[in-house]
Amino acid sequence: MTELEKWEWLGHWKLHRLIRVEGVIEAVEPLHIGVGRAPSPGSPSDNPIVRIRIGPHEIPYIPGSSLKGVFRSTTESLLRSLGLKSCSPFLGLCIGPIRDRVCQLSRDGQIEEAQKLLDDNLCIACKIFGSASYRSLVVMGDAFAIEGTYAVGMRTCVAIDRRRGAAARGRLFNIEYVQPGSLFSFSLCGKNLPNYAIGLLAVIIDYINQGWVKIGGCTSRGFGRVRIRGKEGDYPSFSIIERPFTSEEKKLPEADKSVNKLTKDDVPIEDLTDFEKIKRAWWEWVR
């Protein structure tokens, strides 16, 4: 693979591959995705959940931005734990020092030079989930509650007096939540993702399913554990369309052998129906 071909995979001007992950999100614990602002007058809850109107009904949902934030922050933590380059929580995004230069090169039409600068400086999290002046290769859909599967509850809590370390008198408040067992739709689309990046997505889903990573607010109060599973099986479905302009969908291992030539260090995914083998693509690349 030439350097230009490698940059094409990191860019957005040529389409090589599309990936789709589909399933459902099942609430294992109460789930609270707050509205992020003061409740409206007359609201029965001090901390209402976010809803969206679909037809005549308002239903709970998990914004795609919330899900993407969970995936990205987990990726950054994982990279640091493995000793790999990642954006610093204190110094900001890794694109910061080169952003002006990238923008100038792009305006001057020097796309290859701009792409090489991004390739040499951006961490994996920025390359997959985007950064300032660099569009994400992953698109998260909003997860809408599935009709007939969800219920909403309310929990009364008490604020803590930080000086005494005990319950504050007269400081009751309530939290609205979606009850355990509720189901939400889940979809993720990726463009030009190498095999190790697909494996990384599977690893993060596994961390979420094991309860190491939670979603939403009030996680220290026993909220936020979910499970991302298939509509019929234990794991969400992964599918790949190689060379999308041919309109021919293929699934590994029948997919074209070019899937193992995405980068010089990439490893094959033997079977997209085997969740463990998908994860292995990430860990083999790390090694």
The pLDDT tens digits of the residues spanning 7-63 come to 566 667 677 788 999 999 999 999 998 886 656 665 666 678 888 988 888 899 999
User: Is the pLDDT score of 261 beyond 60?
Assistant: no
Question: How many whole angstroms separate alpha carbon 206 and alpha carbon 126?
Answer: 21
Place of tokens 């002006």: 100
Neighbours of 269 (CB within 10 A): 26
Confidence (pTM) = 0.83
* 94 or 199, which is more confident: 199
Minimum mean pLDDT range among 177-186, 205-214, 228-237: 228-237
* 257 or 198, which is more confident: 198
Q: What mean pLDDT is predicted for residues 78-87?
A: 89
Which of 225-242 are b and which e, b meaning 16 or more Cβ less than 10 Å from the residue's Cβ? bbbbbbeeeebbbbebbb
Q: If residue 177 lies in a helix (H) or strand (E), which one and from where to where?
A: strand 166-178
User: Is the pLDDT score of 255 beyond 60?
Assistant: no
The pLDDT tens digits of the residues spanning 59-77 come to 999 999 999 999 999 999 9
Minimum mean pLDDT range among 113-117, 207-211, 228-232: 113-117
* 41 or 197, which is more confident: 197
Minimum mean pLDDT range among 29-38, 247-256, 258-267: 247-256
What is the share, in percent, of the chain residues with pLDDT greater than 70? 77
Q: If residue 282 lies in a helix (H) or strand (E), which one and from where to where?
A: helix 275-286
pLDDT classification of 99: cutoffs 50, 70, 90: confident
Which of the residue ranges 36-40, 123-127, 132-136, 144-148 has the most confident prediction, judged by mean pLDDT? 144-148
The pLDDT score that the predictor gives to residue 253 is 35
pLDDT classification of 198: cutoffs 50, 70, 90: very high
Average pLDDT score, the chain: 80
The pLDDT score that the predictor gives to residue 14 is 75
The pLDDT score that the predictor gives to residue 146 is 93
The pLDDT score that the predictor gives to residue 258 is 35
Under 8 Å between Cβ of 266 and 5: no
Which of 108-138 are b and which e, b meaning 16 or more Cβ less than 10 Å from the residue's Cβ? eeeeebbbbbbeebbbbbbbbbbbeebebbb
The pLDDT score that the predictor gives to residue 218 is 82
